[in-house]
Amino acid sequence: MGTSSNTQSLSALGTTTPVPIMQQASPGLLPPTVVVNLSAGASLMYSVEMTGDNVLVPNYQAASGNWGGLTDLTGQTTSGSSALGGAVSAVRLHVTQYTSGTATIQVIQPNPITGL
């Protein structure tokens, strides 16, 4: 196993808890990738939001954090994915319109030892 992943799902309006992103310690590593899958027949709109905030500090309040949309995954109604670049410390899934179905976010991060 060369990667680690974190998966969270939403079946209503709202946001997931922040998913911390491992900082890339070695040049040449594949970038972390965000994948959002919608259940069959889902009728919802979502965005993936990112932050540079340190979400690991005690008592971090995501609701008052500095979140911005990930361009490739903003206002989407179908499954999608995007590689992360830059100084992103965490991402979260935000379901903005909901009728039915489930949206699942998965963050795939390369292993800093193997680089895979």
Band the pLDDT of 24: cuts 50, 70, 90.
low
**Residue 115 maps to a domain:** no
**Residue 116 maps to a domain:** no
Would you state the structure tokens that stand for residue 81, as one six-digit string? Answer: 């994915």
**Residue 50 maps to a domain:** yes
**In CATH, what number is assigned to the domain containing residue 33?**
2.60.120
pLDDT score recorded for residue 114 = 53
Q: How many helices (H) and strands (E) does the chain have?
A: 0, 9
Q: What is the pLDDT of residues 36-70, one digit of tens each?
A: 999 999 999 999 999 999 999 999 999 999 999 99
Which of 7, 16, 98, 9 shows the shortest CA–CA distance to 49? 16
Domain hosting 28: range is: 3-110
**Residue 30 maps to a domain:** yes
Count of domains forming the chain: 1
